[in-house]
Amino acid sequence: MGAAFVGEAHAQIPDVVKIAILLPLSGEIFVTGAQLSHAAELAIADFNSYLKENGFTWSLEAVYEDTESNPVRALEKVQILHTRGIGIIVGPVASAQLSHMLPYINNNNNVMVISPTSTASALAIADDAVFRTVPNDINQARAIGATLKHWGIEAIVPMWRGEAYGDGFIDAVVSDFESRGGITHDGVRYNPTGGDFSVSVSVLADLVSETVDRYGADRTAVVLASFDEAILILQAASVYDILDDVRWIAGEGVAKSTAIASDPIAAQFAVDTRLHNLQLFLNLGGRADSISDYVYERLGGTPIFHIYTIYDAVWLAGLSILEANSSNPADVRKVIRDVSVSYSDGALSSVELNAAGDLMLSNYEMWVVSEDGWVKSLVYDGQSDSIRQTRIVDGTVFAPDYVIQGGSVLNMYTNPQEAALIVEIMADVDGMLNITLPRGLVDSQTGEGADSGFFVLINGEEISYEETGVDDDSRTLSVGFAAGTDKIEIIGTSAAVPEIEEIGMLVLAAGLVLVAVISTIYRTNATRPLLNIR
């Protein structure tokens, strides 16, 4: 680990320090709790190995408590833990639970919380007893606002959980979107514990219909703040034609949901609406692979990214105890932000906390449901407040710059046998792809080494294109496409051979290097865009 807290054993620390792991092991979000409990289990084991290797004689012991996905029960568990002398708590998962616990926590000097998942901006309070290894929703809201404007969306209809997370998330999104000139229509605040969302979805359909009548379907989007109940919402929404005519975007609560991707009705609706969800763009540290492998071996499926943030939350607790030379929560609170600066290369490359005790990172990925499951679509760069997207080939610097108008790029990969680059897109209207191709990625030359033309196919049909730039390292093509296009093939005489082979094709995307996407919106009249930047 990047932090080095090595020295003589600390006599003021008891032989066994108990910390609580407060998770929803039952109830509506138990699936999340199961993954996080395994990641916390590994973190405890790894931290104790670290202590032993460095000559310390004490150890961490986890006490697991089930919040039952219930704010009242979460507070009861904290109170019980407090009476047992356990005041350092990793959890809970939901902001609603954390909000309900907050007065009790802040009124007791010997209780502190490190949440790996709570993001409500209302809980970003300086000098309190709450710390979070995730950024707060103000950052998420900026990412969603930038994405909506990138898509050319003018009006949104929100649908959200009626509790602390949902209320705070939508408030932040609305504020950011309207600061960018967007319009917010009335939305639907639903009871997340009701079980039947058909009435709420029916109201949503009416509101979306009103918004589409005014702004057009291609200028309207639904913003969803939801957890695991999203699958039921999407199922209910699938019976309304108006709801699959517009874009949908969701927050981290449904990040790469395996439940959505595996349900035929919800998955198809997500594909039809190009449902994007937000996820932290994590710069992973050296322990990330071992954590994801550990959780996968026990549960299968794609692990959620919060397995990394809970792993580091446990380490922050342990290292802060070590640095404070005390297991008293009041002492640990005083040093945890300094420890967060020193600790590195754990699950994440950095867990530095800001003045409110929240993670400083503010970059996000956008994932979209395709016929093959979730695929990465966009990246939001918080520093420049811009949407960016690139690909790397074979771990090299091959990263084609591109600007797409009228659609969005979902994936790129090479077919070396055909000397081709395949670009998979979603196209809502007629548009244009301007792409700069590194010669080492794909090129077309005669036997004498002179440049020759490419062969370009759209959905299998040959089309004409314009070559707008050429130099010793790259060639730039402008390719027009029609609404409904899903595949562009650029065929030359050579194409790079990446290392990783998947489903018979060699996949180009092995990582991310940020390349700016220039976005300009053109209109022919007040309601219909000529080119809709996605």
Q: Is the separation of the CB atoms in 476 and 434 below 8 Å? A: yes
One CATH from 3.40.50.410, 3.90.1150.10, 1.10.10.10, 3.40.50.2300 for 16-136+284-342:
3.40.50.2300
Domain 16-136+284-342 shares a fold with domain 137-280: yes
Place of tokens 């929803």: 24
Q: Is the separation of the CB atoms in 94 and 117 below 8 Å? A: yes
Q: What's the pLDDT at 396?
A: 35
Q: Where are the domains of the chain?
A: 16-136+284-342, 137-280, 389-531
Q: Is the separation of the CB atoms in 94 and 118 below 8 Å? A: yes
∠ at Cα 44 (42, 47), nearest 5°? 105
∠ at Cα 8 (6, 12), nearest 5°? 110
Q: What's the pLDDT at 498?
A: 52
Report the amino acid identity of residue 139.
N
Report the relative pairing of strands 16-23 and 88-90 from DSSP bridges.
Answer: parallel
d(CA 202, CA 208): 10
d(CA 515, CA 399): 8
Q: What's the pLDDT at 388?
A: 65
Q: What's the pLDDT at 281?
A: 79
pLDDT digits (tens, 9 = 90+) for 306-320: 999 999 999 999 999
pTM for this structure?
A: 0.63
Query: Which stretches in the chain have pLDDT values below 50?
Result: 4-11, 390-397, 499-534
**CATH class of the domain defined by 137-280:** alpha beta
Q: Please state, in angstroms and as integers, the Cα–Cα distance from residue 178 to each residue in 51, 120, 141, 171, following that order.
A: 50, 19, 11, 11
Q: What's the pLDDT at 389?
A: 55
Q: Residue 505 in 3-state DSSP?
A: strand
